[in-house]
Amino acid sequence: MSILDRLTVVGGDLGKLSQAERAEYYRAVCESLGLNPLTRPFEYIVLNGRLTLYAKRDAAEQLRRKHGVSITIVAREKVDDVYVVTARATMPDGRTDESVGAVSLAGLKGEALANAVMKAETKAKRRVTLSIVGLGWLDESEVEGLGDAMRTLLPADENVERPVVVAPEPVETSVTHPASAGTPAPIKQAHQGKPKAPPAQSTVHPAEDDRPLNSDSWLRLQTYLVDAHVADNRYHAVGKLVKALEAQGLQVGSVDAPNWKAIYGAGLTVQDAYAAIMQREAEQEQPMGADEMNNILNTSKNGDLPF
């Protein structure tokens, strides 16, 4: 029985499919849209008691590239304590569509305010991309705040035994460049076998954690990245760390075989590692221009907004 026939039998309820059937359905969806399933453009989510798919950032980026979608920000405005961005998508045939992204600015200042502003733009761009290509699924940013939503990963994801609560979407942040030199502390690769249980969570946010990056602090940061939805799982978090450090000019091995001696021996703090990862996330997302972002950061110090 084909996957389409099986869906008909279960009334379209993906939760009634086996894990193998879900994986087959996932591949079929990616193939029909011309997306690369290896990049994990979608995630399964339990929403209102039903299992469905939502689109991640990779889905929007690949769809824009595949269909030649260009995005223009046509409006930014503040409505009471809500910041609203309107994005317009244009197809090569001239067809256009518009969507908005909105976030609350209540009580935010400085970097938190800047992050919220960028997040609104990200929401608008992703939502209009999905809309113009006719994909009426939830975007990753729309999943945030759904208290009854639970993510569930495919069998290909490492060592996941149960769904996890959806955490807020990552937002772009500032970065400090890693230092160099230090004492190496080798560690068993985190993605091999059953992952080590992480230490108790620190109350210090990674952006302010100046402790040395070592096996224990990396496990805490790794857990934070997964819980904050920056990474899909622990192996994905390792990949983000390796690629981020490579972008900073460090030779730290490959995603599949990180050189932990080099990573821990680079004299990095948790703050350095987190900042490098978030800088790469921000660069890949292509947020608003640097001059405009600096203007927002400077003017928000006193709680004011440049609009």
Higher-confidence position of 254 and 186: 254
Output the DSSP codes for 79-137.
ETTEEEEEEEEE-TTS-EEEEEEEEE-TT--HHHHHHHHHHHHHHHHHHHHHHHTT--S
| pLDDT confidence tier of residue 128, bands split at 50, 70 and 90 | very high
Per-residue confidence (pLDDT) for residue 305, from 0 to 100 = 53
Q: Is the pLDDT of residue 257 over 60?
A: yes
pTM of the model: 0.48
pLDDT of residue 189: 39
pLDDT band at 296 (very low <50, low <70, confident <90, very high): low
> Which tops the pLDDT comparison, 149 or 219?
219
The pLDDT value recorded for residue 288 is 52
Model confidence at 75, in pLDDT bands (50, 70, 90)?
A: very high
Residue 198 has pLDDT above 70, yes or no: no
